[in-house]
Structure 1
């Protein structure tokens, strides 16, 4: 992928929590209109990548570009205004506000009131249960409904790119499948680009177009998701397919840091 084609580009990014480096020289690109995914074990640095992109964490090195502009360490509110929304791990809805008010909070940077009203109807079309619960406090929703609300709130900013962090966390397989189907539908119907962080590798690789594998803060593999699904390493360690072969198993057993 050339840099000119990318809507999002990270170049040699390092971020840390105090003395602990969470990501080390991460470079990745996301093309307009695609779903890209970052796979990796707990603690690999996946969430840190998204927080660095959205301005929550300032990187110590490297750069983040969005639509050709350098947004490295820019204020998160300004990043949202540029067309990039972040759906955090754990959903983080406003529990005491109604579902409708949560949605309107997502559109707080916008001044096109008629378009905002249309977008509220649009997200109700994706997630009809939110229409039924529109007047209910968000904290009273189920975990799956809160995830739907968090995605919908991000859409209310009319973003070109959504950062989606662990949407399956704590959800049943049925709800996970439903939410992934809606994410793919949003991508196809609206052209919204998605960068997805997800531990459910099977769901992520089937939904996404291009994938990166993160180990101990470094990108160790990247390819189209179609090709990643066929790699022995991915089959063995992420998809649980024992027929991946002893050769791939022996190779990865030598990597003591792989978890």
Structure 2
């Protein structure tokens, strides 16, 4: 069985008097993709912000690679091998694509490794190489999402937190982004914790899933078993028939290793 790389124990987080995360406990195993599903406002993004140190928890502990990182400074968390791709991309719009990628590697002191990873992300996303000297603010939404993921990869992380990577993207671009996410996980062994409203994509890309409602985990299981549960089918997978066909294609791609 894989080693647990990230563990949350009874974590509670709030915005002022509003408690957004209520006693959440979850685990992410090394080399896997885990996903957290839930409606808008369920607390999914808050979990990721709490893990990465953007938001201090009111209660509970967060362990990463066996170390307690609860409420640690975000820069120190990045140095320990955890990168966060935030909701809405949040690229630096006035900086070039190349400079955005350099910002992702700011904690590193291995220029040869940085050069290799730059070539790697250009291989995953060739459009970024073509537009390397352009300001990031001129990229399309999909290209900015590619840049945000690539910027996270430039830190050479052991774990990437992905917050709503499909937000605002067309179905075609969403499919392309998820294909690359799975490819990165399979080829590099990069562990991922994915927050996503597109349940069809998330459950077919990930290995293990958690369902969040009103700040609490109400269900967890392997994604294969979650896809067969009636509640998941009714509330998350009952949107359209194409989702089932898409899922079959993803199952085939999940054999990559």
Smaller-chain TM-score bracket: over 0.9
* DSSP 3-state at the match of 1:219: strand
Describe how 1:16-27 pairs up with structure 2 within 5 A: 16-27=14-25
Render the CA deviation track for 1:91-141: whole Å, top value 9, x for unaligned.
Answer: 000000000000000000001011101110000000000000000000000
Aligned length: 241
**2:151 matched to 1:164?**
no
Q: Work out the CA distance in 2 between the residues paired with 1:241 and 1:10.
A: 31
Alpha-carbon contact 1:235-1:242 (below 8 Å) kept: no
Q: Work out the CA distance in 2 between the residues paired with 1:19 and 1:95.
A: 33
**2:64 matched to 1:70?**
no
Task: Name 1:6's counterpart in structure 2.
Answer: 4
Task: Name 2:113's counterpart in structure 1.
Answer: 115
* DSSP 3-state at the match of 1:186: helix
Displacement, 1:73? 0.1
Task: Name 1:211's counterpart in structure 2.
Answer: 209
User: Among 125, 133, 138, which residue is 1:127 paired with?
Assistant: 125
* DSSP 3-state at the match of 2:194: strand
User: Among 86, 100, 110, which residue is 2:98 paired with?
Assistant: 100
* DSSP 3-state at the match of 2:232: helix
Alpha-carbon contact 1:22-1:45 (below 8 Å) kept: yes
Determine which structure has more spread, i.e. the larger CA radius of gyration. Answer: 1
Render the CA deviation track for 1:44-93: whole Å, top value 9, x for unaligned.
Answer: 00000000000000000000000000000000000000000000000000
Alpha-carbon contact 1:15-1:57 (below 8 Å) kept: yes
Describe how 1:1-259 pairs up with structure 2 within 5 A: 5-240=3-238
Alpha-carbon contact 1:236-1:242 (below 8 Å) kept: no
Q: Work out the CA distance in 2 between the residues paired with 1:31 and 1:74.
A: 21
Change (3 A) 1:105 1:8: same
**Structure 1 unpaired stretches of 5+:** 244-259
* DSSP 3-state at the match of 2:152: helix
Give the structure-2-normalised TM-score: 0.92
